[in-house]
Amino acid sequence: MNKNIVLAIALGVLVIVAGLQAYQLFGLKEKILDSGVNLKSTSSKVSSGSGTGSSAPAPSLDALPQMVGGC
């Protein structure tokens, strides 16, 4: 079989699969909106967990080597 025909068939299958996935995603979005679930996120600050509020790295990170050897 000609290589161009095989590539055209593969491209066509990929386009069809992408179209089906877009259709399913749109349907899922509609179901979520119809159920009344609020998808908007609230703005919240993410804490680093140390509680200090500073931008300094954690003390455990100070003991790491500067460079790691490879193969």
DSSP calls for 26-41: HHHHHHHHHHT---PP
Q: What is the C-alpha separation between 51 and 8, in angstroms, rounded?
A: 57
The reported pLDDT for the residue numbered 43 is: 56
Q: What is the C-alpha separation between 7 and 15, in angstroms, rounded?
A: 12
Number of Cα atoms under 13 Å in the Cβ half of residue 13: 6
pLDDT in tens, 14-64: 999 999 999 999 999 999 888 887 656 665 555 555 555 566 666 777 777
Dihedral over Cα of 14, 20, 23, 27: its sign: negative
Instruction: Please state the pTM of the whole predicted model.
Output: 0.47
